[in-house]
Amino acid sequence: MGRLSIPDAGWLLIEGRQNPMHVGGLQLFRPPADAGPDFLTDLADRLRSEHDVRPPFNQRLARPYGLAGTYRWVEDEVDLDYHFRHLALPEPGRLRELFAIVSRLHASLLDRHRPLWECYLIEGIEDGRFAAYTKIHHSMLDGIAAMRQLVRSFSEDPDERDLPPPWAPTGNGRRPDPEDPTGALAMTGKLVRLAAGEVTSGLSVARTVTTQVVRSRFDESHVAPFQAPPSMLNVRLSGARRFVAQSYELERIRAVGRLLGATVNDVILAMCSAALREYLLDHDALPDKPLIALVPVSFRAPEDSDAGNAISLVPANLATHLDDPLARLDLIRSSMNAVKDRLRDMSPRDLINYGIVMTAPLILGELSGLSGRLRPTFNLVISNVPGPDRALYWNGARMEGLYPLSLLNEGYALNITMTSYDGSMNVGITADRKALPSVQRLIDHLEDALADLEHAAGIGT
């Protein structure tokens, strides 16, 4: 019944109290003009009454702590009163209070004896707005799949009502596969074919990593394993979290890319590089060598909405040792182009195995308890998850913001994830509260970084 793949099971194996392995999403809504005083109460009642919970939201782990990672999903009855909760912010209901409560919610582990998700409806935000926060274990969905599941709950029509909640999506979800009834002989053949495929893939990945190491010695656009410098980002986690978010006009980022010959993702990485450089300088903690980001790359087909994970992870040079914004962008662009060249001819299996190789030291460090004590394999994760390009509505309420929350691995105290939505780029920063003080300053540094790139591109001059 629904055995987890090795990458999916890995998220469960390395999870601990200090490093929950779930991702989340925060949506900010403005009620429709005709909303009455009971709008949110009625909405909560409708959501609570929707018991048609579908895969993967009605699946729990058969063994919450599987032997040697042999996890599998089984269908379960869902207690909606546990998984869905209605909360209210304390006054004055600013975004600061919203981010504070979401930070606390995001820090707690999901109960492995239940389906691995929770959803919160949060009212009391200034100007009459409300929010929804949902978290779901990474073993169930990667960021791309989670975004697609989420969008199914909303509509482009502001007049549409009675939309399904996130746990009752339309379309196909993951359903547990039945046990193979064909006997030991067929299973043996399947394992032989699988092993042969893994050997071939392993050789391909080994050649790629070897080339990567050799080229990194004379070309800094190529990143080798363990090239990342020690930094204040790479310490033991405390379990407490701090989440902050901000939105930027997507056209500003696109305009910089057009004028400077860079992709949107290149510009985003350059913004993060400059912001991190300033933050670390503020704390007198900027390493002499450039920070290395681990960048998730999706190979999920556009029509593939299945659950599970379809991502690989690649390293990128953030060029934080360079003072000039154009020089930083140029090195980041070269680093990402080198990555694309390496991945272009890889099969999906190769891409998965490449990601496993890049994160193997991290996983081994977590399992051995050495993460945060040894030299990091990278410094942080920076993700760019594409979102809907049109305004969405939830039972008439317009979504004004869509902010991603991610996970932190032991020894890696910062994650920056961005999601595009309706002409904006929404940044979600998840950090360890103890390791990175005043992390909200990164938001200001990101704005300054974008302004510097616009100046370098000749925009507004």
d(CA 411, CA 253): 31
> What domains lie within the chain, and their CATH numbers?
6-151 (3.30.559.10), 200-386+411-456 (3.30.559.30)
User: How do beta strands 311-317 and 397-405 pair?
Assistant: unpaired
CB atoms under 10 Å from CB of 448, counted, come to 13
Q: Is the peptide bond before 56 cis (omega within 30 degrees of 0)?
A: yes
d(CA 426, CA 247): 4
Tell me the average pLDDT across 116-133. Answer: 96
**Residues paired with residue 137 on neighbouring β-strands, in sequence order:** 22
What element of type H or E holds 88? strand 84-88
The token duo for 67 is 């032997």
pLDDT-based confidence at residue 222 (cuts at 50, 70, 90): low
State CA 41 to chain mean position distance: 31
Q: Is 175 exposed, middle or buried (0-12, 13-18, 19+ CB in 10 A)?
A: middle
pLDDT above 80: residue 59: yes
Polymer length of the chain: 461
Of the chain, the end-to-end C-alpha distance in Å amounts to: 62
Assess contact for 225 and 214: CB atoms under 8 A: no
pLDDT above 60: residue 32: yes
- Write down the pLDDT at residue 313: 75
d(CA 46, CA 60): 24
Q: pLDDT digit string (tens) for 415-454?
A: 999 999 999 999 999 999 999 999 999 999 999 999 999 9
pLDDT-based confidence at residue 162 (cuts at 50, 70, 90): confident
What mean pLDDT value characterizes the chain? 83
pLDDT-based confidence at residue 376 (cuts at 50, 70, 90): confident
**Residues paired with residue 3 on neighbouring β-strands, in sequence order:** 72
CA-only gyration radius of the chain, Å: 22
- Write down the pLDDT at residue 5: 82
Q: What contacts 421, CB < 8 A, 6 or more positions away? A: 387, 388, 389, 392, 399, 401, 402
Give the CA angle between residues 7, 404, 153 to the nearest 5°: 90
d(CA 103, CA 255): 33
What element of type H or E holds 451? helix 441-456
Q: Indicate if 138 belongs to the active site.
A: yes
Of 47-61, 71-85, 101-115, 368-382, the least confident = 368-382
Amino acid (one-letter) located at 214:
V
d(CA 394, CA 159): 9
- Write down the pLDDT at residue 130: 97
d(CA 57, CA 140): 9
**Residue 379 or residue 202, greater confidence:** 379
- Alpha helix segments (H runs only) across 135-293: 143-151, 184-216, 250-260, 264-282
pLDDT-based confidence at residue 101 (cuts at 50, 70, 90): very high
Q: What is the pTM of this model?
A: 0.84
Measured CA to CA in angstroms, residue 141 lies from 135, 138, 145, 147, 148 at distances of 10, 5, 6, 9, 10
Assess contact for 279 and 413: CB atoms under 8 A: no
Choose among 110, 150, 83: nearest CA to 21: 110
pLDDT-based confidence at residue 337 (cuts at 50, 70, 90): confident
Q: Which of 138, 222, 321, 445 is catalytic?
A: 138
- Write down the pLDDT at residue 68: 65
Q: pLDDT digit string (tens) for 256-272?
A: 999 999 999 999 999 99
Choose among 348, 238, 228, 227: nearest CA to 276: 228
The token duo for 17 is 């109290």
pLDDT above 90: residue 3: no
Looking at the chain, the whole-number percentage of residues with pLDDT higher than 90 is 58
3-state secondary structure of 12: helix
The token duo for 82 is 């546990």
- Write down the pLDDT at residue 172: 41
